[in-house]
Amino acid sequence: MRFERRSDPLAPTSVFVKRLLASLGIALCLIAVALSIGTAGYHVLGRFNLIDSLLEASMILGGMGPVNELSNNAVKIFASAYALFSGLMFIAVMGIVLAPVVHRILHKFHVDESDSG
């Protein structure tokens, strides 16, 4: 995604909405990939069925914590690593989603500053 430079005029609302939708699409793709990784890990290492694996991965990714008791050390180590990964994913997704909004706000301030100066 290319944003306008400081010297460029503020992008029209339609361009901003397209950027926002593109950011949301990228964020949803990242969440889907992270959820797939978690589901596969719980299914293979924890020997949960696919629905329970999806539930475990969703709860960890959403920050709620595990649902079922983890039966072996391999799945416990995976759950620990997946929880740390999920925290980083949250930060990355929020950065991607908020980037167009923050850029537009900052660009608006710079446009106003150059108009008054």
Identify the three-state secondary structure at position 110.
Answer: helix
Q: List the pLDDT tens digit at each of the 117 positions of the chain.
A: 788 787 788 889 999 999 999 999 999 999 999 999 999 999 999 999 999 999 999 999 999 999 999 989 999 999 999 999 999 999 999 999 999 999 999 888 876 666 655
List, in order of start, the domains of the chain with CATH numbers. 29-116 (1.10.287.70)
